[in-house]
């Protein structure tokens, strides 16, 4: 099985760990339920893992256990939305997107139904459960559905805020959440908008555009690059679709070089969205950190993120490479 060779660099910037974004989703869902009696939740026999069980405990009459049947769950969510409810349906991302795709297309995307979907345990950081459980195609699959918004929060505060933005948005939304604890990047006072990136720093040598857990690695890379005299800005692109074309165009114009980082196959993921935006605005050299046309193995999250080239040293190496091609 193919893998990526570890470059000879180390990231020194440490981040404090918080809770997993899947747990943040469960907390925010309860908050929504308390404010809006039309909020209902559905799960495909994985409520404890997705943390929708928090909603089930407080609002048992507004919770629907659909069994191991993601396709049916999507159809039920569509029906509930058409009946005036605000449904949040969750399962493992790989099951929700793969098993429910036809229903997501025909029952939700095509009629533009106001239903929300949360895919937990996204990416390879799920770890030992192996490739059958690791969603590495969900950005591409869900972005291909017309009318869908696609989100991936980077920490618990971003995750909780985006759940509320999902509820406010009129139309279908998909959000990926993660299994492991995520580094704390924000605080309760930070605000988030669908389609608007969060910028860290004003470096003009290179821009690193990342989402999900990769934002933490990007900030580690930013700190290491600063020690080398390279000033990078980091864009937390928590909205993969619609991607923040304004922030990307500004980064391409001011920095002249861009690196993307994502816990997803490079085909059809964040890098593809950013490259299209760069091509439309200010074409600039790019490098792409992501999963290289393969499925991962079963190992610890840390081992997998390192083997498949997703940690901070790989982002640093990509920056060095792109700067060689910068005009």
Candidates 23, 58, 70, 227; catalytic one: 70
Other Cβ atoms within 10 Å of 318 Cβ, number: 23
Q: Is 23 a catalytic residue?
A: no
DSSP bridge pairs for 147: none
Q: Are strands 258-265 and 206-210 parallel, antiparallel or unpaired?
A: parallel
What separation, in Å, do the N-terminal and C-terminal C-alpha atoms of the chain show? 36
Closest CA to 174 of 234, 94, 244: 94
180's tokens? 């492991």
Measured distance CA(13)–CA(147) in Å, rounded: 39
φ, ψ (nearest 5 deg) of residue 245: -65, -30
> Would you say 149 and 194 are in contact if contact means Cβ atoms under 8 Å apart?
yes
Q: What kind and span of H or E run contains 88?
A: strand 86-92
CA distances from 177 to 3, 171, 264, 323 (A): 24, 19, 13, 32
135's tokens? 């969603």
φ, ψ (nearest 5 deg) of residue 198: -105, 125
Cis-peptide, bond into residue 225, ω within 30° of zero: no
Q: Which residues are catalytic, by number?
A: 70
């Amino acid at each position: 099985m193919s893998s990526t060779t570890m470059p000879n660099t180390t990231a020194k910037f440490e981040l404090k760990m918080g809770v997993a974004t899947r747990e943040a989703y469960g907390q925010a869902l309860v908050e929504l339920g308390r404010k809006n009696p039309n909020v209902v939740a559905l799960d495909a026999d994985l409520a404890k893992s997705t943390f929708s069980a928090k909603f089930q405990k407080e609002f048992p009459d507004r919770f629907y256990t659909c069994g191991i049947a993601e396709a049916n769950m999507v159809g039920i969510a569509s029906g509930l939305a058409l009946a005036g409810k605000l449904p949040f349906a969750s399962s493992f991302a790989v099951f929700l997107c793969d098993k429910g795709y036809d229903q997501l297309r025909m029952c939700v995307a095509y009629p533009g139904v106001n239903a929300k979907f949360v895919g937990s345990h996204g990416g390879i950081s799920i770890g030992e459960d192996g490739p059958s459980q690791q969603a590495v195609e969900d950005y591409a699959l869900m972005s291909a559905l017309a009318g869908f918004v696609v989100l991936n929060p980077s920490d618990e505060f971003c995750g909780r805020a985006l759940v509320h933005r999902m509820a406010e948005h009129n139309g279908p939304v998909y959000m990926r959440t993660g299994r492991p604890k995520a580094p704390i990047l924000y605080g309760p006072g930070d605000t988030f908008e669908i389609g608007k990136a969060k910028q860290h720093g004003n470096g003009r040598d290179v821009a690193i555009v990342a989402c999900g857990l990769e934002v933490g690695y990007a900030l580690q890379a930013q700190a290491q690059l600063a020690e080398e005299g390279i000033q990078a800005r980091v864009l937390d692109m928590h909205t993969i679709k619609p991607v923040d074309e304004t922030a990307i165009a500004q980064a391409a114009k001011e920095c002249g070089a861009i690196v993307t980082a994502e816990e997803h196959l490079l085909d059809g993921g964040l890098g593809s969205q950013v490259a299209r935006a760069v091509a439309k605005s200010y074409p600039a050299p790019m490098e792409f950190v992501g999963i290289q046309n393969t499925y991962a193995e079963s190992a610890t999250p840390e081992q997998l993120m390192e083997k498949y080239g997703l940690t901070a040293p790989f982002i640093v190496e990509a920056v060095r490479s792109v700067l060689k091609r910068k005009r």
